[in-house]
Structure formats: structure tokens, C-alpha cells
Amino acid sequence: MRKKALWSAAAGAVALTTMVAPAAHAEGRGDIRVVKTVVDGGTNVIVGTSKVIKFPIAITIKDNSGVKGLTHVSTFNMSIGYDFAEWSGSKCVKQSSTTSVCTATMTIDPRWIADSDDIDSNRVAGVWQVNATVKANDGDYWISDNIAQFKVKRAATLTTDASPEPVVKNARLTVKGRLSRANWEDRKYHGFSGQEVKLQFKKAGSSSYGTVKTVRTNSTGGLSTTVTATTAGTWRWYFPGTTTTMQVASTGDSVSFA
């Protein structure tokens, strides 16, 4: 069983970004520096209940003698200091005589997560930071804290069911659904209660959805509302996400007239 790791986060609040230069706190020897860091191409890292996740951290490094590589990379939740991602390798690509982009691969296995926090591993979702130690060809090194920030979010699912199908024009149509999200403690999906979810409609022949109304999920993540079926088309639910849970749109349910 993988045991939790605890790292010291840099003091003070820092604005969320995928690129930080220079680092919030760093120490080392010589002129080697991290000049840019991008996590997973600038996207959120989404973790579910079973699939092993691998994501890249691209670190641009500069030194007058050239870059040798990475000697340490770590990521962790900025609020509580816990993590469940492991550095599983890296590769450096030379851009010039002084600059290289070293990409670290981070791995998350959902089976590790329940052991990451002895209170509730779900609270490890949220804003994370990256620390790295880099080394130059001439022996210079730099220990960089908070070179980037990104979000690790719990995966979510969303369903839509509109009835009756087909429906009589101008009759009442009931649209139901359910919002669920990954629980990292038992590695199952549970209903996500108390969340505002948008009911959206796309008219037949149209390429885009528009929001019709907003509905709050019940205690089991359920959604239900009624609308007047004035036009044939497709209905779906859309959840914009939170700091700790991914955004998700359900598969559309097309409704025609009887």
C-alpha cells in the first residue's frame, strides 16, 4: 500500500497559473534557472476510480553550460500538503546550447489515493503545486519551489433522460438526470448533491446548445424538471464543475414530435 507523502508548501497565497517564472522560492548554485513550466498542456488533471493517469510537466530550463536534466520532481495539494502522484521518468529535448525542455511524466493510480490522507482522501483534490530540482552540465543546480500550479479534480458523470418520446407538440416534457462524481475512498461514483446544473437544448438542425434553466441536484445527485416541448431537438444537462470536480456534459437525448 502506497503511503502518503507530506511536503512543505511555499508560504503565502499565489494566483493560479500553469506557468510561474521565477519560482516563488528557490535555492541552489550558479546561473541555472527554470524559466517556464506547463502542466498537462495547461489543462486540469482528471482522476476517476480505476484508470491509471499519466500527465506531463514540461519544464523549460536555461544555463550557460547547457542543461543536464531533472533530479527531483514533486507535486502536492497546496492547502494540506498531501499528494498521490509519483514521478515516473523524464526526457529532455535540447532547444539551444543553453536551453532544454525537460518533460517529467507523473503517474496516478487510483488504488493509491485512499492512503494519501488519513481523514478523507477526497480533500486532496484542488489546487496543486510543482517543485523541481534541475541540474546543469557544469554542476550548477537549482531547487525550485512552486514553479507551477494546476488543479487535480475528481471525475464526474452526468446523464439525461427526456420523456415521453416522442412527445406531442406543446405538451409537457420531463427531463431527468443524475450527477455523480468519483469518491476516492471507495473508488466508486456517488451522487453529487446541492449542485447547480444547467438544462440545455439544441434545436433540430442547429449545431449549438442554449441554456433553458438551472436546476439544483437533490440528495442523491438527481435532477428533474418539466418544460414545454415547442420545438423538436436534443436535451442535455451541463455541469460547469468546481475547483475539485470536473465539468461535464451529458450525452444529448433527442426528442421528436408524435
What's the pLDDT tens digit per position in 72-113? Answer: 999 999 999 999 999 999 999 999 999 999 999 999 999 999
DSSP letter assigned to residue 29 = E
CATH 2.60.40.730 residue ranges for the chain: 156-255
Residues facing residue 61 across a β-bridge? 34, 100
Enter the C-alpha cell of residue 258: 408524435
Nearest-5° Cα angle at 250, 247 to 254: 150
What's the pLDDT tens digit per position in 26-75? Answer: 689 999 999 999 999 999 999 999 999 999 999 999 999 999 999 999 99
3-class secondary structure, 248: strand
Cβ atoms 187, 84 nearer than 8 A? no
Return left, alpha or beta for 119; rule: phi > 0 is left, psi -120 to 50 is alpha, else beta. Answer: alpha
CATH 2.70.50 residue ranges for the chain: 5-154
> Band of the pLDDT at 2, cuts 50, 70, 90?
very low
Q: What pLDDT sits at residue 19?
A: 40
Please state, rounded to an integer, the average pLDDT across all residues of the chain. 91
> Band of the pLDDT at 3, cuts 50, 70, 90?
very low
> Band of the pLDDT at 7, cuts 50, 70, 90?
very low
Position 10 pLDDT exceeds 50:
no
Position 6 pLDDT exceeds 50:
no
Q: What pLDDT sits at residue 14?
A: 31
Q: What pLDDT sits at residue 12?
A: 30
> Band of the pLDDT at 25, cuts 50, 70, 90?
low
What are the phi and psi torsion angles at 124 (to 5°)? -75, -15
CATH architecture of 5-154: Distorted Sandwich (2.70)
Q: Which CATH class is domain 156-255?
A: mainly beta
